[in-house]
Amino acid sequence: MKEIRFLVVGLLAMVFTSVSVFGYSGGSGIEADPYLIDNKADLLELGATTSDYGKCFKMTSDIDLSSENFTMAVIAMDTNGVDYEFQGTGFSGGFDGNGCKILNLLIDGGTTNDYIGLFGYLYADAEVKNLGVVDCNVNGDYYVGGLFGWTAGSILS
């Protein structure tokens, strides 16, 4: 009987571990099945998970960030505000806003942070489309914008 309980506990642990590893609100991160960004927690998870910056994402609802005060880009931030060159992991994936909006974005990068915006740095193969940023207040030292600080990628409406 102990062996069966151990097996059940082990299987449950694997299931819960899988759920937390995959995160977001669904999807697998490929173009045909993008990760779904449905809420603020999903967006913040994307910002913190640089290993996913080459994957595909799709928003499923507007996201209100009014309770957040950022000092760096939300996604693909510069990790060294002293240097003028970007140091960090840039976003190289696809982000489909799906007609949704980021609301009330506040980033106060002060006079030392660069590459400030919802996306700090977009590589050439990045594509951001169908995304609105409404009621944003963003400031920093160099390369500052509401949607992105610097882009070599594609921005489509």
The pLDDT of residue 8 is above 50: no
Instruction: Tell which wins on pLDDT, 1 or 97.
Output: 97
CA dist., res. 149 & res. 94, Å (int): 17
The answer to whether 127 and 97 are in contact (CB under 8 A) is no
The answer to whether the Cα torsion of 86, 88, 90, 91 is positive or negative is negative
pLDDT-derived band at 150, boundaries 50, 70, 90:
very high
Q: List Cβ neighbours of 106 (8 Å cut-off, separation of 6 or more).
A: 65, 66, 68, 69, 70, 136, 137, 138
Mean pLDDT of the chain: 88
pLDDT value for 112: 86
CA dist., res. 1 & res. 40, Å (int): 44
The answer to whether 58 and 96 are in contact (CB under 8 A) is yes
Per residue in 66-93, pLDDT (tens digit) is: 999 999 999 999 998 777 899 999 999 9
pLDDT value for 22: 55
CA dist., res. 27 & res. 21, Å (int): 12
CA dist., res. 61 & res. 40, Å (int): 10
pLDDT value for 9: 39
Per residue in 102-143, pLDDT (tens digit) is: 999 999 998 889 999 999 999 999 999 999 999 999 999 999
**DSSP secondary structure letters along 9-23:** HHHHHHHHHHHHHH-
